[in-house]
Chains A and B, each alone.
Chain A
Amino acid sequence: MNISFDDSVIKIDVDKEIYSLTVLHKCFYWYTGKYSLDICALDSTYLITISDVTTAEEKDALIQKIRKDLIDFKTREIISIETKNIRDLLIAKAFAHEDTFEEDPPPGISDPLGFDPTSIK
């Protein structure tokens, strides 16, 4: 991860192999209340630009927080992917007896063998 700071703008280069776009979106969503953000896909990295960082102290604290948050959101992504099936199964089991799906009977009379039963007299 390469980080640069110039003229109240932090630029972070993140390896695509390490962090997915989903992780970046979920992580940096929480920064959109205070900062102006841009995420741009390059060849092998994503470039994140964070504007309106006013002081060097703010920058240091922000970078430290971003490092932690990226790891946390990556961890959340792993949990989410690994547990998707079991979560689906859990919820399906929880509400299984609530399945009140009712299929309407097919309209009219039909026959799978292909003749028209209404023509029989």
Chain B
Amino acid sequence: MDTKEVKNTRKFKDYEFFRSPDSQYFLLPFRFHRINAQKEVLVNEVGDFLIVPAGTASRIVNREISEKEEIYHDLHANFFISTEAVPPLIDVLATRYRTKKSFLDEFTALHIFVVTLRCNHSCHYCQVSRVSENKKDFDISLENLMAGIHHMFRSPAKSITMEFQGGEPLLAFDEVKFAVETATELNKVYKKQITFVICTNSTIFTDEILDFCKQYDILISTSLDGPEFLHNANRPKTGIPSYELVIAGINKARSVLGHEKVSALMTTTSMSLDFPTEIIDAYIENGFSNIFLRPISPYGFALKNPKKNKYETDRYLDFYRKGLNYILELNNKGHFFVEDYTTILLRKILTPFPVNYVDLQSPAGLINSVIVYNYDGFVYATDESRMIAENLDFTFRLGHVKDDYKNIFYGEKAKFLSQYWSNECLAGCADCGFQNYCGADPVFHYSAQGDFEGHRPTSDFCKKNMEIISNLFELIDQNGSEFLPIFYSWINNKPRF
């Protein structure tokens, strides 16, 4: 017998002394998804990922990963496996899990007030049944507005957003003014951080309106669908064409409020699908440094014009990919320009923090993050919910603004919807490798499939997100050194150069 082996001293032991003899390890919760024939991505319970050769998940489970392999240490360091049944750092992991779900702490932070249905445009993709400019019956009453503001202040969120929508909300400027002034006055007591946003087509800015916006630090969110021919085709109006007025409005608002206070959103119609680069160029020409390549929402009145507003998800994905590749090219050439939807996903993939984007949350954003006070006094779970209601389907109506706060936010309807708002519990999502980055959207699935839970194999929501997320992992895997610096510059909203 070798006496050296049995002699027990207090000297420091080398690594081999502590190594478990047969590379046994315990599994920690994780999911995986094959991104192509060669690679799969492993994602742990807090959203950390590893891109590994296909078949690695199976090897992990079959305890075929040896300590001598580099991947063993990656798996161990990233909480995919543990040498102990309960990892010593489980509290760290629990804190990270809690951080990912910390958007729940704030509860309803976005309060949308639909102050009027009146509008001066007649966009074919508009989801609501807009009415002509002079029908004041479609404005919210001050009484209902006041009741909505009181609900808003009941929210536990320290930071809240008060967003005005329509129709065209500035056609009911008196109501907007009343709401902003009242909320500001009441906030002397509640002391919340309030962000005011007006979603406007920017065609009716007056000096009075913009001075008011400046006084209360109001953000402007406008609609710009791309170059002139496309914007005017998507957003027709009588009299002077929309594009000319919108660009003039954007410039006027910027000159009074500051460049960064004005943002724009585009909607992808069937016609837009052929012009991804032209749309991006139009945004750049008009001084924007970001774009949200946003598909059309299959809700309400938008469905009444399927030729212009309905298209296959594959066509949208092709449009998105062309647009993203063009934007990546621009960034590679040193022009900082951001695609917003990609950035939302990247923030979920590459940072430990949650993202307050209501369409990609689990539990879903409805009620948990957003609530809508409609012009008629009824309260809806999301903006899309009130669009469905325009077709006389009141499934997502939570009550009337004069109802008790608890009955609206914690009532029977809210409890019913809660059955379908966590993707951890939905068929197809429960085992999905991308569960951490995606969300549950019962309103979308109810509208598109007539089913709150949704059928994932035929869901456009699922197909779109699976393809986009998978594409991002492929980009990171194939050329991470080129794309990751760009992606981080988007997440941090800071140009690289």
Say yes or no: A33 contacts B27, CB within 8 Å: no
CB of B352 closer than 8 Å to a CB of A: no
CB of B94 closer than 8 Å to a CB of A: yes
Partner of A71 from B58, B86, B98, B101 at Cβ < 8 Å: B58
Residues of A within 8 A of B95 (CB): 94
CB of B156 closer than 8 Å to a CB of A: no
Residues of B within 8 A of A34 (CB): 457
CB of A115 closer than 8 Å to a CB of B: no
Q: With A and B bound together, what is the CA distance between A95 and B97 in angstroms?
A: 9
Given A33-B457, A94-B95, A86-B29 contact (CB < 8 Å): yes
Give the interface size bracket for A toward B.
20 to 34
Chain A interface, DSSP helix/strand/loop, else mixed: helix
Given A34-B457, A86-B29, A91-B97, A29-B428 contact (CB < 8 Å): yes
CB of A72 closer than 8 Å to a CB of B: yes
Distance in angstroms from B122 CB to nearest chain A CB is 36
Say yes or no: B94 contacts A32, CB within 8 Å: no
Say yes or no: A33 contacts B455, CB within 8 Å: yes
Say yes or no: A31 contacts B29, CB within 8 Å: no
Say yes or no: A78 contacts B61, CB within 8 Å: yes
Say yes or no: B28 contacts A86, CB within 8 Å: yes
Say yes or no: B456 contacts A82, CB within 8 Å: no
Say yes or no: A75 contacts B58, CB within 8 Å: yes
Distance in angstroms from B411 CB to nearest chain A CB is 19
Distance in angstroms from B269 CB to nearest chain A CB is 26
Residues of B within 8 A of A75 (CB): 32, 57-58, 61
CB of A83 closer than 8 Å to a CB of B: yes
Complex interface bits, A74-106 against B, C-beta within 8 A gives 1, otherwise 0: 011011101100110111011100000000000
Give the interface size bracket for B toward A.
20 to 34
CB of B45 closer than 8 Å to a CB of A: yes
Distance in angstroms from A70 CB to nearest chain B CB is 11
Which residue of chain B has the shortest Cβ distance to A33 in the bound complex?
B457
* Interface set, chain B 444-460, CB cutoff 8 A to A: 455-458
Residues of B within 8 A of A83 (CB): 27-30
* Interface set, chain B 13-58, CB cutoff 8 A to A: 26-32, 34, 45, 57-58
Given A26-B431, A90-B90, A93-B90, A32-B455 contact (CB < 8 Å): yes
Which residue of chain B has the shortest Cβ distance to A71 in the bound complex?
B58
CB of B93 closer than 8 Å to a CB of A: yes
Residues of A within 8 A of B34 (CB): 68, 72
Say yes or no: B431 contacts A73, CB within 8 Å: yes
Spell out B's residues near A (CB within 8 Å).
Answer: 26-32, 34, 45, 57-58, 61, 85-87, 90-91, 93-95, 97-98, 101, 427-428, 431, 455-458
Interface CB pairs A-B, < 8 A, 7: A29-B428, A34-B457, A79-B57, A83-B29, A83-B30, A86-B90, A90-B97
